[in-house]
Structure 1
Amino acid sequence: MSLFAWLRAAKPQLDAIQQRRLAQLPKPATLSEGALRSQRWVVVDLETSGLNLNRDQVLSIGAVVIEDGAVDFSQLFERTLQRPETKLSPSVLIHGLGPSAIAAGSDPVEALLDFMEYVGDSPLLAFHAPFDQHMLSRALKDSLGYRLTHPFLDVADIAPLLCPEAPIREAGLDDWVKHFHLEVGERHHASADALATAELMLILFSRARQQSIDTPLALHTRLSQWKRRQQAPSF
Structure 2
Amino acid sequence: MINALTRFLRQSPAHPRAASLQKRFEAWRALPAANSRQTVRDSRIVVLDVETSGLNLRKDRLIAIGAVAIVQGRIMLNDTFDIVLRQEQVSSKSNILIHGIAGGKQRSGTEPADALMQFLEYIGPDPLLAFHVAFDQTMLEKSMKTWLQTDLRKRPWIDLAYLAPALYREQALSHRTLDDWMQLFHIHNQRRHDAVADALATAELFLCLNKKCEQLGKYTLDSLYTAERQYRTLIAQ
TM-score (norm 1): 0.89
Equivalent in 125, 129, 136 of residue 129 of structure 2:
125
Is 2:186 the counterpart of 1:190? no
CA distance in 1, matches of 2:81, 2:9: 29
Equivalent in 55, 64, 68 of residue 64 of structure 1:
68
**Residues 134/170 of structure 1: CA separation in 2 closer, same or farther (3 Å cut):** farther
- Contact 1:49/1:89, CA 8 A, preserved across alignment: no
Q: Once the two structures are aligned, what percentage of the paired residues are identical? A: 38
**Residues 135/186 of structure 1: CA separation in 2 closer, same or farther (3 Å cut):** same
User: What residue is the counterpart of 2:3 in the other structure?
Assistant: none
CA distance in 1, matches of 2:179, 2:135: 17
CA distance in 1, matches of 2:155, 2:10: 22
CA distance in 1, matches of 2:10, 2:150: 11
User: What residue is the counterpart of 1:79 in the other structure?
Assistant: 83
Aligned residues: 225
CA distance in 2, matches of 1:204, 1:125: 13
Deviates more, 1:190-199 or 1:86-95: 86-95
- Contact 1:28/1:150, CA 8 A, preserved across alignment: no
TM-superposed deviation, 1:185: 2.7
Note the aligned Cα RMSD (angstroms): 2.0
TM-superposed deviation, 1:88: 2.8
CA-to-partner distance for each residue in 1:69-112, whole Å, 9 max, x for gaps?
Answer: 11011101100111123543732221112211101211111111
Is 2:39 the counterpart of 1:35? yes
What is the identity, as a one-letter code, of the residue corresponding to 1:137? Answer: E
Equivalent in 178, 203, 208 of residue 208 of structure 2:
203
Equivalent in 217, 220, 228 of residue 225 of structure 2:
220
- Contact 1:28/1:122, CA 8 A, preserved across alignment: no
Deviates more, 1:215-224 or 1:181-190: 181-190
